[in-house]
Amino acid sequence: MEISPEILALFPLWYVAFLLSLTCHEAAHALVAKWGGDLTAYHSGQVTLNPLPHIQREPFGTVLVPILSLLLSGWMIGWGSAPYDPYWEQRHPKRAALMALAGPTANFTLAIVAVLLIHLGTGVGFFQLPESFGFIRVVEATTSGGEAPAQFLSILFSLNLLLGTFNLIPVPPLDGHSAIGLALPEDLFRRWLEFVRSPMLSLLGLIIAWQYFHVVFFPVFALAIRLL
């Protein structure tokens, strides 16, 4: 397998952006669960922006898969997890829905932070908008010293927009299947959680989400670029 020099050069930027995005996502889950009375993730040390506890919990999804996916496909995917008490979820379904929503909210917040930094850099003449946009080309540098920050902010923006959108798809095991509890009566939501708590349904949900995600994400990305 031949690895292009461009991919090797972008690897540190990709991995820092990925690890920051994943850590904020899982820490947000853990923090909101703690606020709601479930201390499971808190006792696991995951109410933190230190990536090490999250890596230790999911080394395969936070280290091996991201590296392999970048080398094989040119972009980085992976996953993490924050433990929670399913009995707490049954007792407090609305709190559990807020916990689920916290992860994508953290990703959208990071995307907004990237936008603010892009506008700041553009305002002082450090960045400029490119003639053609792409996943890792949302903004470009006006000087050679700004290339790495421009590429990092482009990746941070696009990756968090992707993670936030993907996780809101309402199929198990994605966060969206629990977040919809905010719009459902509690008894109905409890029955829904019992129905979807199956490994086979989780596998099916991931297949469906992956197969049709482009239908959702491309319009969202195009709209975000226009707003940017």
In this structure, are residues 205 and 177 in contact, taking their beta carbons and an 8 Å threshold? yes
Give the residue among 122, 159, 124 at the shortest CA–CA distance from 140. Answer: 122
pLDDT digits (tens, 9 = 90+) for 136-174: 889 999 988 889 999 999 999 999 999 999 999 988 889
pLDDT digits (tens, 9 = 90+) for 116-143: 999 999 999 999 988 888 888 899 999 8
Average pLDDT over residues 85-111: 94
Look up the pTM and report it.
0.92
Number of domains making up the chain? 1
CA 42 to chain centre: 20
Integer angstrom CA distances of residue 178 from 36, 164, 209 = 15, 14, 15
Determine the Cα–Cα distance for residues 79 and 196; give it in Å rounded to an integer. 20
Annotated catalytic residue, options 26, 89, 131, 140: 26
Query: How many CA atoms are closer than 13 Å to the CA of 173, on its beta-carbon side?
Result: 10
Determine the Cα–Cα distance for residues 148 and 13; give it in Å rounded to an integer. 8
Task: Examine residue 173 and say whether the peptide bond preceding it is cis (omega within 30 degrees of 0).
Answer: yes
Active site includes 26? yes
Determine the Cα–Cα distance for residues 81 and 27; give it in Å rounded to an integer. 9
* 26 against 3, higher pLDDT: 26
Q: H or E element: which one contains 162?
A: helix 147-167
Determine the Cα–Cα distance for residues 36 and 82; give it in Å rounded to an integer. 14
pLDDT digits (tens, 9 = 90+) for 45-84: 999 999 999 999 999 999 999 999 888 888 888 889 999 9
Residue 196: its pLDDT value, please? 78
Helical residues (DSSP H) of 36-92, grouped into ranges: 40-43, 51-57, 59, 65-73, 86-91
Side chain identity at 174, as an amino acid letter? Answer: L
DSSP three-state, residue 125: coil
Rounded to the nearest integer, the mean pLDDT of the chain is: 90
Range of the domain at 70: 5-227
